[in-house]
Amino acid sequence: MDKKSKKKILITGGAGYIGSHVNKMLSEEGYETVVLDNLSKGHKEFIKWGVFEKADLANMAEVEAVFKKYDIGAVIHFAAFIEVGESVKDPELFYKNNLKNTVNLLEICRKFKVNKFIFSSTAAVYGMPEYTPIDESHPKSPISPYGRAKLMVEEILKDYSDAYSFEYVALRYFNASGASMDLDIGEWHEPESHLIPLVFDAVSGKRESIKIFGTDYDTDDGTCVRDYIHVLDLAKAHVLALKYLEKGGKSDCFNLGNGKGYSVRQVIDMVKKVTRKDFSVVEADRRPGDPSVLIASSKKIIKKLSWKPIYGLRQIVESAWKWYRKKEKLT
């Protein structure tokens, strides 16, 4: 097949953190990509592979123009707002952007007969864990509009798959972290709400201290335990999911986590080891709605797609710290 007749992979939200890493990995694997992003949250500096089309999923004419311009073979859908707290304060924003705009995209996929779809979902679909590690059959009881919108999209995808010639993979992320090893791209949220970059802010003096919210949880050191997964391991899962659909794989949902938990205190201690710097740590009261432990069971994707997480906490923190220092020079 010559290059011109090769179908392209459309990556919505491809200028964002995870989307850009998936774009890079797909390009390295020989795929031709089209990044669709409105740059409201993403960074144009991260679009280093494929072609870029600035468009907004709320504007169906803009998106249809992209589908007309390129022969799209599959869609990987990242474009969404991610701040859980913000979703509680302004649910309308999240239901419009994360739910309604996804339905717009699906309508266009059907119109142009694009029937392979990979969805960026979240562990937030589960809500408060009834048991850990959390597997895919765990009850779905999201406690935020963010989690509810993601679960609604999963239900819509299932309905589409049952009714139409349409196959999808929904990937439920736990705590994405780390950066590209060559430091091309990395984590860059504005404002930043993820633990590891916030700890780096304390290392660099951008903030006076880092707060630990709750030290009386039922864990080994009393602080919350979370499942941190390197963004490169996440990206690899998307590549494998795409190949699975290309080979005729049926619609499915998979957890994406390391299967290991690290406490807030362990993460802070690892940052101190990697950076060789000390900083102020303040113990504060628990935040409402924070479960003690959130750990994924990724047995299903390991078995079905032969995916395997490679990177542990040290590699996550090391790559993230190198990227953080580079980003500080960029901004």
- Which residues are annotated as catalytic? 146
Give long-range contacts, CB 8 A cutoff, 24+ apart: 282-285.
Answer: 282/209, 282/210, 282/211, 282/212, 283/211, 283/212, 283/215, 284/211, 284/212, 284/213, 284/214, 285/213, 285/214
Are 229 and 261 in contact by the 8 Å Cβ rule? The answer is no
- Angle at which helices 313-330 and 264-275 pack, to 10 degrees? 60
Write out the DSSP string of 46-77: G--SSEEEE--TT-HHHHHHHHHHS-EEEEEE
Tokens for 135, please give them.
Answer: 């597997």
Residue type present at position 249: G
Q: How far apart are CA 148 and CA 126, in angstroms?
A: 9
Tokens for 73, please give them.
Answer: 């073979």
Q: Parallel, antiparallel, or unpaired: how do β-strands 209-213 and 252-256 relate?
A: unpaired
